[in-house]
Amino acid sequence: MSQYDVVIIGGGPGGYNAAIRAGQLGLKAAIVEMRDTLGGTCLNVGCMPSKALLHASELFESANREFEHLGIEVTPRLNLSKMMAQKDESVVALTKGVDFLMKKNKVERLLGRGRIAGPSRVEVDGADGKTLTLEARNIVIATGSEPSGLPGLKVDGDRIVDSTGALALSEVPKTLVVIGAGIIGLELGSVWRRLGAEVTVVEYLDRICPGMDAEVAKAFQRILAKQGVNFRLGSKVTGAKAGKSRVDLTVEPAAGGAAETLTADRVLLAVGRRPYTAGLGLETVGLVPDARGFLETDHFRTAAAGVWAIGDVIHGPMLAHKAEEDAVACIELIAGKAGHVDYNLVPSVVYTTPEVAWVGRSEEQLKAEGRAYKAGKFPFAANSRAKINHETDGLVKVLADAVTDEVLGVHILGPQAGEMIGEYCVAMAFRAASEDIARICHPHPTRSEAGRQAAMGVEGWTMQA
């Protein structure tokens, strides 16, 4: 029986980064993954393929709608199978990169389903039909999450798909209903709208993107609507009948009222994700997930000695970069170091056009906490680079403590917001004041200047609007 310092179950961003860090710190580590490729949901059926399609579809839309204004006359024709193929190639290249990182850090890669089999023991049901038993001083559960279901709705992978299915449709649906106005639904809805589908988003809540600053969410929704996305907020889907070529959805007002039928070629169910711990053998070490399926941890330590958990299976935002932070901190704790994650500084990004990115507190959170704050805002309509590029939708909002001026939250709605938010993650980690941002030179002309102008606005000296 092989012995390890750490056996990691799950090869997603949490698992593979844990493996890399373990290797760096000289721990003997193995990573167990049931997929043929490492990278988990993110790399195989999540962030990466969706970004491939978002990028390609954005260019398609630009060619369709915007090139003409720039003096470029083309008539683009969609080759969906080629678009899908380039996406798949990128994914394969990326998974190979992760394989390389495992080798580089001397992590043993085990193919098969990992299962805890009592304290310090992991069994792997190998793809070859054999069962392997590993002795592990530490077990790290990094099994991630899976799409949540909805009562009355069955994901059949054809007419009714989850995010995985929506990344691999063989044709552009004429009509697509997206259930759930969260990040996944809006990103994939955008992809198919750009490629030609008429998209309707049905959301139970009366707003899109819960967790996003409400003012930003409202502006974001207006932009998406302008692009052609239909919204039915405050509505719940209570049933679905999938036929050969269409789906009839029963939709009721969330507050109660008469049901109506919504018909679409395809339906994307994107109502969130839930921790994935099925068949993991948690009971063999006395672990029981909570009602929503999460594992309780204290700094990644579960109640079972030597069993740790990171990423989507524990509380906190279900994001690849959060899992990556968990992974580093968890392995460092295992190695006796001072691993730590500040969950307030985990940024969120919606990769639509324009993008939305934020870090820290929203205005609603600050109000709920009773914290006195000041806000500075700057519209991209007043930013020279955005104007030149005809990308004037959106704004930057900086929230800072009313007394100390410490930046408490930054919200960006605009092109490349995801690239811009990193500046504020660094600033907030160093407990910067809005004035610090305002007094730091930013390159001109760039969109990043909008952030600086918004920061100036906190203390009332925005200069360029």
Partner 1 sequence: MADIMTPALGESVSEATVARWAKKPGEAVRKDEILVELETDKVSLEVAAPADGVLESISAEEGATVEPGAVLGHLKEGAVAVAPAVAPAPAAAGAAPKAAQPAPAAPVLAPSAQRIATEGGLDPAAIPGTGKDGRVTKADALAALEARAAAPPPAPVPAAPREAHAREERVRMTRLRQTIARRLKEAQQTAAMLTTFNEVDMSAIMALRNTYKDAFEKTHGVKMGFMGFFVRACIHALKAVPEVNAEIDGQDLIYKNHYDIGVAVGTDRGLVVPVVRDADALSLAGVEKAIGALGKKARDGALALDDLQGGTFTISNGGVYGSLMSTPILNAPQSGILGMHKIQERPVAVNGQVVIRPMMYLALSYDHRVVDGQGAVTFLVRVKEAIEDPQRLLLDI
Residues acting as catalytic residues: 444
- C-alpha pair distances (Å), 461 with each of 445, 457, 464: 19, 5, 9
The rounded Cα 53 to chain-centroid distance in angstroms is: 15
Q: How far is the CB of 3 from partner 1 (least distance, A)?
A: 39
Q: Which of 88, 346, 436, 442 binds partner 1 (CB under 8 A)?
A: 436
Q: Which is nearer to partner 1, 296 or 435 (CB)?
A: 435
Q: Give the three-class secondary structure for 283.
A: helix
Q: Which of 440, 461, 463, 464 binds partner 1 (CB under 8 A)?
A: 440
The window from 35-43, 292-300, 304-312, 424-432 that contacts partner 1 (CB under 8 A) reads: 424-432
Bridge partners of 282, per DSSP, are none
Q: Which of 73, 81, 243, 430 binds partner 1 (CB under 8 A)?
A: 430
Which amino acid belongs to residue 240? A
Two tokens, residue 5:
């310092």
Q: How far is the CB of 438 from partner 1 (least distance, A)?
A: 8
Q: How far apart are the first and last CA of the chain?
A: 68
The window from 109-117, 147-155, 312-320, 435-443 that contacts partner 1 (CB under 8 A) reads: 435-443
Site map 126..165 versus partner 1, x via CB under 8 A: ----------------------------------------
The window from 10-18, 87-95, 184-192, 429-437 that contacts partner 1 (CB under 8 A) reads: 429-437
264, 247 Cβ separation under 8 angstroms: yes
Two tokens, residue 455:
């920061």
Buried b / exposed e over 43-55, threshold 16 CB at 10 Å, is bbbbbbbbbbbbb
145, 312 Cβ separation under 8 angstroms: yes
Q: Which of 45, 251, 432, 454 binds partner 1 (CB under 8 A)?
A: 432
Q: Which is nearer to partner 1, 430 or 460 (CB)?
A: 430
429 binds partner 1 (CB under 8 A): yes
Q: Which is nearer to partner 1, 268 or 366 (CB)?
A: 366
Which helix (H) or strand (E) segment holds residue 104: the answer is: helix 80-104
**How many residues bind to partner 1 according to rule CB under 8 A?**
14
Site for partner 1 in 376-415 (CB under 8 A): 401, 403-406
Which amino acid belongs to residue 156? D
Q: Which of 116, 413, 433, 456 binds partner 1 (CB under 8 A)?
A: 433
- C-alpha pair distances (Å), 256 with each of 207, 235, 249, 251, 306: 17, 9, 16, 10, 49
Q: Which of 103, 154, 431, 444 binds partner 1 (CB under 8 A)?
A: 431
The window from 158-166, 181-189, 255-263, 428-436 that contacts partner 1 (CB under 8 A) reads: 428-436
Q: Which is nearer to partner 1, 100 or 461 (CB)?
A: 461
Q: Which of 435, 442, 445, 465 binds partner 1 (CB under 8 A)?
A: 435
**40 Cβ partners below 8 Å, 6+ apart?**
10, 11, 12, 13, 14, 15, 16, 33, 46, 144
Q: How far is the CB of 406 from partner 1 (least distance, A)?
A: 6
**205 Cβ partners below 8 Å, 6+ apart?**
181, 233, 234, 254
Backbone angles phi, psi at 155, to 5 degrees: -75, 115
Q: Give the three-class secondary structure for 363.
A: helix
Q: How far is the CB of 430 from partner 1 (least distance, A)?
A: 5
Q: Which is nearer to partner 1, 154 or 337 (CB)?
A: 337
Which amino acid belongs to residue 192? W
**Interface ranges with partner 1 (CB under 8 A):** 401, 403-406, 429-433, 435-436, 439-440
